[in-house]
Amino acid sequence: MPPKPSHGKWRPILSPELAALCDAIPADFASPDADYRAVRAQFAPFHGHPVGDDLDLAIQQYGNVRCGDYRLPDGDDSAIAFHCHGGAFVSTPLDEYHFYAELIARETGLRVVMPDYRLAPENTYPAAHDDCYHAYLGLLESGANPARIAVLGESCGGSLGLALLMRLRDEGAPLPACFVSITGWFDLTVSGALPPGPDPFLDARWVRNRGREYTAGKVALNDPAVSPAHGEFRGLPPLYLQVGEHDTVRGGALTVATAAATAGVDVTLEHWPGCVHGWHGLVNAGIPEAAAAWRDIRAYIEHILNT
């Protein structure tokens, strides 16, 4: 059994707003037959939204990696969310994802740094992992304090973020204060416990296909470098995992929670009954579960950074 949540609580069932949105998603949205071109076309309408006029958006080079650096007038610039974004390894370059960085800045009150990691299949493993690693170290070289950094990972960015922590630990580099998973993929084989109901945004075969496009046969899908659920957790900073009941990749998060707790890591697992993959991104659509999830994330990060 996975460890019980050490923060937060079991959440209410699906709200009418989230239920209606899920019902509106086409049944073949995550068709396992889709290739990366189809994925990019499907994701495009969900991304690329304009950002607010009060958002200070600068493009910086950290570790020779192009990054977005986002600040709000009332934000805490000393505390940074280093965000490894989603997009299934194959879609959504930085210029189409500014809106999500703005969302994080508004919901957490933090400065956000988001690397524009290279996408598959044009750039296969370890391109994205290397870019996140070098961007993080470059951020430290710019003067950022690792004790004031929370690494966030959303969807495939969960794999990138957690693998980043493992690589930093192995190489003796400064670790961040914590890691926050926003429905992260941690096992590209999707071999863990499957959800009890359908997830309109993901299909297990679809996930494996995106993993194959990224790994390109260079490593196995269950290699800890790309599926950190199978990695070594000893010595990692606190982990905070939010998982939806109907998220196709929830099994990887449950595996991570169990393995991390067994290794003595401070791990928090928060279950959200009725929720699907990536529901956090729906906060601007008025989905109450999304707003509540971000409140919990903010409270967790503030607790870690201020203790």
The yes-or-no verdict on residue 11 having pLDDT over 70 is no
In this prediction, what percent of the chain has a pLDDT beyond 90?
A: 77
- Spatial distance between the Cα atoms of 185 and 252, rounded to a whole number of angstroms: 7
Average pLDDT over residues 82-110: 96
> For position 233, what pLDDT does the model report?
99
pLDDT, tens digit (0-9, with 9 covering 90-100), for 142-194: 999 999 999 999 999 999 999 999 999 999 999 999 999 999 999 999 987 77
* Average pLDDT along the chain: 92
Fold for 16-305, please state it. Answer: Rossmann fold (3.40.50)
What are the structure tokens assigned to 204, written together?
Answer: 């297990």
Sheet with 76-84: list strands edge to edge. Answer: 56-62, 65-71, 110-115, 76-84, 149-154, 178-182, 239-244, 267-272
In this prediction, what percent of the chain has a pLDDT beyond 70?
A: 96
Q: Please give the residue that has the higher pLDDT: either 253 or 44.
A: 253
> For position 2, what pLDDT does the model report?
39
In degrees and rounded to multiples of 5, residue 287 shows phi and psi of: -85, 115
Categorize the per-residue pLDDT at 284 as very low, low, confident or very high, splitting at 50, 70 and 90: confident
What is the residue extent of each domain of the chain? 16-305
- 279, 287 Cβ separation under 8 angstroms: yes
In degrees and rounded to multiples of 5, residue 208 shows phi and psi of: -60, -40
| Bridge partner residues of 61 (DSSP) | 66
pTM attached to this predicted model: 0.94
Q: Please give the residue that has the higher pLDDT: either 27 or 85.
A: 85
> For position 13, what pLDDT does the model report?
55
pLDDT, tens digit (0-9, with 9 covering 90-100), for 236-245: 999 999 999 9
Q: First and final CA of the chain: distance in angstroms?
A: 29
- Spatial distance between the Cα atoms of 194 and 272, rounded to a whole number of angstroms: 15
Average pLDDT over residues 201-217: 94
> For position 66, what pLDDT does the model report?
99
Residue type at 137? Answer: L
> For position 305, what pLDDT does the model report?
97
- Least confident interval from 39-43, 53-57, 107-111, 132-136: 39-43
Whose tokens are 């296969």? That residue is 124
DSSP line for 30-69: T-TT--HHHHHHHHGGGS-----TT-EEEEEEETTEEEEE
The yes-or-no verdict on residue 82 having pLDDT over 70 is yes
> CB neighbours of 86 closer than 8 A, spacing ≥ 6?
92, 154, 155, 156, 157, 182, 278
